[in-house]
Amino acid sequence: MIASVTDVSSGAPIDLQWLRKSVESEITTEGGRLVQFAMGSAEPPSADAQVRIAISHNEHGYVLIAQIALGDAKQIVVAPVAAAPVNAGPPPPTPVLQRKIVWEQTDPMLDFAEGSPDSNHTLWYILGPDRLSAYEFSGASQILHVDERFSRLYTSRDSRGRLALTDPTHVTAWVAAVRCEGLWSPGFAVSCSPNIGQQWPMGTVNWAYDPTHNFFTGAVTLSAGIITHYPPFYSAAFAPDARGGNTSRWILAGLNGQALLFTGGAQPAAIFFDWGSDIASLNSTCGSAWQVLVTGPGDWTEPDRIQLYQIANRQATAVGEPLQFPGPVLSLWPSTDSQTARVVFRNLQTGLYEAATLSVGCSN
């Protein structure tokens, strides 16, 4: 028996060699014997039967047309065909959360920031419930430590705070209804005043904070000065657009344990369950979807975790393994470029408050 396979469709997504081997294997399985000949030879060898298979295309897709010649009898069979298995290549890289511990101390810590005014000096700022501390390092050696205390308008067991650098020598703190400015001129000095309107910046918008309950009211002041209202929440993550700005896509970690996705409308487009109260967006080179860091739903008496989620098509998909912590995560804030995130947690084994930076690496 002679068997041949040709593609008359000019571009069928099928491996002809794989198809021919499948046909030949089926013929020999049924007891047939193949006769080999060189394609293009003037006289093919004699055989009891000839099978010629062509791949064509109709309005329904690709088809196999088999012409079987057995003596003077001829038969044509037409059947739909599926593409041959395609080598998908290596699996895509898996995002892996990476943690780098950068600070430890016995006193409570709400947030931290690092700045380098020059190549020889590094400044560290540590925010506590009632103080802003500055450390100056030259290389690995500490050369200065300044503690500046401030009065809190409200006291709380679980105060929240945030730091932001205008430049390496100018830091702003928001905590307990107070806004503080720390500046080197030439020594480090801190001036604080009531935070009128309780506005905390996030991206290009400002969210109103309720210092008596330590959550955000849901009132947001947009860049045009327009105020929009959402449900109260503990923390928020926004999706940056390709140009580095903000879109109207937000996820709010609500007070009832539900995270709400908003995509421009007044009603949530999706609800995510079993998320913790701290979330933050994170951009990485491992994956193209919107990525969000999410703490666990536990309380401050037990170990915590941070899981990376990808947000696409109004769904949240956990990617990679969660990063485990030896105690509760107390704060989680994105960096200015969202390439890393800042996390503060309390180590229940040592009792220390620890600060770490989080990033995403790719692993096969």
pLDDT of residue 84: 47
The token pair that represents 226 in the structure block? 């327009």
Q: What CA–CA distances, in Å, run from 82 to 8, 15, 66, 79?
A: 16, 11, 15, 10
Give the DSSP H/E element, type plus range, for residue 23. Answer: helix 16-29
Question: Among 326, 358, 322, which Cα is nearest to 342's?
Answer: 358
Cα separation, 338 vs 345, in Å, equals: 20
Q: Which fold has domain 94-363?
A: Methylamine Dehydrogenase; Chain H (2.130.10)
Which residue pairs from 171-175 have beta carbons closer than 8 angstroms and sit at least 24 positions apart in sequence?
Answer: 171/113, 171/115, 171/125, 171/132, 171/134, 173/111, 173/127, 173/132, 174/200, 174/209, 175/110, 175/127, 175/129
Residue in the structure block whose two tokens are 């016995």: 106
Full pLDDT tens readout for the chain, 364 residues = 556 666 555 556 566 666 667 767 766 666 666 666 554 555 555 666 777 777 776 656 677 777 777 767 777 777 776 554 556 567 778 889 999 999 999 999 999 999 999 999 999 999 999 999 999 999 889 999 999 999 877 777 778 999 999 999 999 999 988 999 999 988 999 999 999 889 998 877 889 999 888 899 999 887 777 888 999 999 999 886 654 445 678 999 999 999 999 998 889 999 999 999 999 999 888 877 899 999 999 888 899 999 999 999 999 999 999 999 999 999 999 988 788 999 999 999 999 999 999 999 987 6
Q: What CA–CA distances, in Å, run from 197 to 17, 128, 158, 326?
A: 72, 22, 21, 37
Q: What CA–CA distances, in Å, run from 149 to 17, 111, 146, 192, 364?
A: 78, 15, 10, 10, 48
Q: What CA–CA distances, in Å, run from 298 to 109, 144, 180, 295, 330?
A: 20, 38, 31, 9, 12
| Strands of the 61-70 sheet, one edge to the other | 2-7, 49-58, 61-70, 73-80
Q: Which fold has domain 2-80?
A: Double Stranded RNA Binding Domain (3.30.160)
Cα separation, 145 vs 130, in Å, equals: 16
pLDDT of residue 12: 60
- Domain boundaries of the chain, sorted by first residue: 2-80, 94-363
pLDDT of residue 106: 97
Cα separation, 312 vs 292, in Å, equals: 11
What is the overall mean pLDDT for the chain? 84
3-state secondary structure (DSSP) of residue 29: helix
Cβ burial, residue 121 (10 Å; 0-12/13-18/19+): middle
pTM of the model: 0.74
3-state secondary structure (DSSP) of residue 269: coil
Length of the chain, in residues: 364
